[in-house]
């Protein structure tokens, strides 16, 4: 798998190197993060993206911040600054709470080393959690009625969104390893086009896939061309309402109407039992230029941006939407599968 050659994040001489996802799929460029400001920028500008990877980067962001000072004030400032980087993915707050829990009671002189170790542990556990999601989710693909199995996904919830394997794509990779014939429908995911990242991942892994415009998903579902939908999550509320990349709820509505199972695959770090339901999940609103313009690379390979709407066109750009639990067939986590109303039992206890 390409993840063995490229990686989303690695430690490098007291700094962190991340794969700059704003350059993909056209260029493979690693960027060095050497400070708290670098980590915040990487998350906010989406050099790193995807809920689990945002959490891991934030954890390393704390380690980077402590290079400049490891006292209580510096630690509090780092946690607060990172927490404000992006609002929807709960993995960010989850990772920071874990860093706080590990570091706050230590004397400052011992915090730096402990921060690196804890960030490393979060990264390692993320990879293992995703591997398990793949193993648990494989049964869903094996149970599909025909071969090749046709999976529909949205956004990018592959290894690029994590430290390894991905979440929604983990069962796809597991199926590939098990020799199950399959094909994936990949929606482009305007306005940031994370579907292009998914198409790139699948191409590199040799998994048959077809890129579609977001608007084509309903038609394909009505034609019976998908056996199941699997998406990732940025935050799952206690009742199973799920925040994921904007456009997810349209697929869930269409899948429900067509009788196609709709599954959410996410680690327990994406489950927020403190959020009673989807109404309590903050939805990130991003800048209007993401919608007014399209970004890509010209035929010489240079980054280019094209305006597709007037500069003055009013734009709404919610980055996520909420899929109500009633449209979710099941949730796949590293601890196993459950119905959306079974999350408390699955995720509430200790690991």
Q: Point out which residues bind ligand MRU (CB under 6 A).
A: 49-52, 89, 155, 157, 161-162, 166-167, 194, 232-234, 244-245, 319
Which residue is at the shortest CB distance from ligand MRU? 232
Question: Which one, 93 or 166, has the nearer CB to ligand MRU?
Answer: 166
- For residue 35, the minimal CB distance to ligand MRU (Å) is 22
- The sign of the dihedral angle between the CA atoms of 63, 69, 71, 73 is negative
Nearest to 227 by CA among 326, 141, 133, 169: 141
Question: Which one, 38 or 201, has the nearer CB to ligand MRU?
Answer: 201
Question: Which one, 74 or 241, has the nearer CB to ligand MRU?
Answer: 241
Question: Which one, 50 or 93, has the nearer CB to ligand MRU?
Answer: 50
Angle between helices 170-177 and 108-142 (to 10 degrees): 60
- For residue 53, the minimal CB distance to ligand MRU (Å) is 7
Nearest to 25 by CA among 308, 297, 326: 297
- For residue 233, the minimal CB distance to ligand MRU (Å) is 6
- For residue 188, the minimal CB distance to ligand MRU (Å) is 13
Let me know if 234 is a catalytic residue: yes
Question: What sections of the chain are H helices per DSSP?
Answer: 36-44, 51-65, 72-83, 90-103, 108-142, 170-177, 194-205, 217-222, 248-258, 289-292, 343-347
Residue of 227, 234, 241, 321 marked active site: 234
Instruction: Give the whole-angstrom CA distance, residue 222 versus residue 254.
Output: 8
Let me know the angle formed at the C-alpha of 77 by 74 and 78, rounded to the nearest 5 degrees: 85
Instruction: Give the whole-angstrom CA distance, residue 247 versus residue 11.
Output: 34
Which residue matches tokens 């050099």?
A: 47
- For residue 131, the minimal CB distance to ligand MRU (Å) is 13
- For residue 276, the minimal CB distance to ligand MRU (Å) is 21
Question: Which one, 75 or 319, has the nearer CB to ligand MRU?
Answer: 319
Question: Which one, 42 or 75, has the nearer CB to ligand MRU?
Answer: 42
Instruction: Give the whole-angstrom CA distance, residue 291 versus residue 305.
Output: 12
Q: Which two tokens stand for residue 199?
A: 């198409």
CA distances from 152 to 132, 193, 317, 323 (A): 20, 16, 24, 16
249 Cβ neighbours under 8 A, 6+ residues apart: 321, 322, 323, 324, 327
β-strand partners of 332: 265, 337
Question: Which one, 154 or 292, has the nearer CB to ligand MRU?
Answer: 154
Residues 248, 249, 255, 258, Cα dihedral to 10°: -140
- For residue 170, the minimal CB distance to ligand MRU (Å) is 9
Angle between helices 72-83 and 51-65 (to 10 degrees): 160
Q: Which residues are catalytic?
A: 234
């Amino acid at each position: 798998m390409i993840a063995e050659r490229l990686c989303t994040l690695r430690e490098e001489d007291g700094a962190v190197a991340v794969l700059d996802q704003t350059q993909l799929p056209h260029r493979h460029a690693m960027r060095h993060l050497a400070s708290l400001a670098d980590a915040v920028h990487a998350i906010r500008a989406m050099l790193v993206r995807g809920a689990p990877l945002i959490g891991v980067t934030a954890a390393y962001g704390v380690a980077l911040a402590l290079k400049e000072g490891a006292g209580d004030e510096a630690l509090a400032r780092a946690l607060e600054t990172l927490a404000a980087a992006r609002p929807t993915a709960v993995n960010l707050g989850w990772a920071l709470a874990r860093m706080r829990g590990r570091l706050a009671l230590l004397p400052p002189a011992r915090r730096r080393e402990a921060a690196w170790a804890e960030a490393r542990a979060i990264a390692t556990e993320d990879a293992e959690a995703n591997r398990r999601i793949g193993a648990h989710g494989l049964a869903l693909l094996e149970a599909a009625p025909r071969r090749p199995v046709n999976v529909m996904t949205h956004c990018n919830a592959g290894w690029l969104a994590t430290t390894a394997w991905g979440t929604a794509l983990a069962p796809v990779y597991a199926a590939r390893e098990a020799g199950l014939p399959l094909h994936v429908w990949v929606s482009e995911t305007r306005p940031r086009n994370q579907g292009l990242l998914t198409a790139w991942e699948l191409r590199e892994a040799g998994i048959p896939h077809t890129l579609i415009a977001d608007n084509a998903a309903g038609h394909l579902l009505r034609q019976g061309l998908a056996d199941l939908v699997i998406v990732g999550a940025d935050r799952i509320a206690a009742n199973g309402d799920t925040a994921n990349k904007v456009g997810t709820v349209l697929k869930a509505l269409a899948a429900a109407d067509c009788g196609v199972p709709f599954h959410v695959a996410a680690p327990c770090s994406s489950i927020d039992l403190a959020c009673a339901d989807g109404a309590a999940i903050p939805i990130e609103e991003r800048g209007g230029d993401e919608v007014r313009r399209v970004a890509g690379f010209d035929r010489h390979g240079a980054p280019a941006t094209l305006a597709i709407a007037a500069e003055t066109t009013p734009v709404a750009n919610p980055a996520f939407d909420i899929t109500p639990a009633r449209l979710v067939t099941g949730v796949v986590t590293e601890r196993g599968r459950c119905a959306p109303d079974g999350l408390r039992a699955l995720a509430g206890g200790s690991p």
